[in-house]
Structure 1
């Protein structure tokens, strides 16, 4: 089964998110998944708009959101990351397609974000692929009175 992922990449903290984008595309290829579209948004807070657009496309199975929310002097980073994450969960439920979170923060320093960029990208893509494949498996399984374990 071929999995097609949309990537939503925040441009804010581009030095970090560019690394995340490259790692996500590379890891998708490693997992034999296709990335037909990358939608760049100004910042993490703007990502739900792009995710909503991508989830409507019949050729997109899941969306991975990548970004870095760096801690500042106020709690703005918490507001941005928490509100975006909440909306992304809601969109996943609304459209019945996985939306995975590769957003570093809140509370991360620039150095922490750089150190975590590849790992967060890889995990977001891997989670999306697993969820799509397992969902497709569940759609094809018939219940025969026995315990089913998908995964």
Structure 2
């Protein structure tokens, strides 16, 4: 019988790694809980580099969906807003281009370091949950199911 588990890739930013490495740990743990297989972890220098890594993973046949993890902390300028908004738009565009789910597990913009620490669990697990659910529902739809409201 063919393995039907969801195979995912995770792209994680190394910038603010005191936050993102904890996000990665929780994301991997939650993927296992959901019976999804993490096929690749792609570490990038910062959140700005996430879209290129997402594109690389989406081009692989053994990846059903991609989870993005990062923390864009507010500084004295609007740089955090520019980065977070552009990355969100680009990963959404890539999801549509490759017809595979990409979830947004990026804390910010506007978050302080303390707020980001408080959101580690929520953002990482929700990102995995979203990607896996969408991949399962899309698979079900492609297999001809008349309903895609699958838990």
What TM bracket, shorter-length normalisation?
over 0.9
- Provide the aligned length of Structure 1 versus Structure 2: 147
Name the residue aligned to 2:7.
4
Secondary structure of 1:131's counterpart equals: helix
Measured in 2, the distance between the counterparts of 1:20 and 1:76 equals 22
Measured in 1, the distance between the counterparts of 2:59 and 2:27 equals 21
Secondary structure of 2:15's counterpart equals: coil
Where does structure 2 lack aligned partners over 5 or more consecutive residues? none
Q: C-alpha offsets along residues 80-131 of structure 1, whole Å, 9 cap, x if unaligned?
A: 0000000000000000000000000000000000000111000000001100
Name the residue aligned to 1:30.
33
- Please identify the structure whose Cα radius of gyration is greater: 1
Rate the CA distance shift 1:142–1:29 in 2: closer, same or farther, 3 A. Answer: closer
Matches within 5 A, 1:5-84: 5-84=8-87
Two-structure CA RMSD over aligned residues (Å): 1.0
What TM-score, normalized to structure 1? 0.95
Deviation at 1:150, TM superposition (A): 2.8
Q: Is the contact made by 1:78 and 1:106 (CA closer than 8 Å) also made in structure 2?
A: yes
Q: C-alpha offsets along residues 2-58 of structure 1, whole Å, 9 cap, x if unaligned?
A: 000100000000000000000000000000000011000011111000000000000
Matches within 5 A, 1:45-124: 45-124=48-127
What TM-score, normalized to structure 2? 0.95
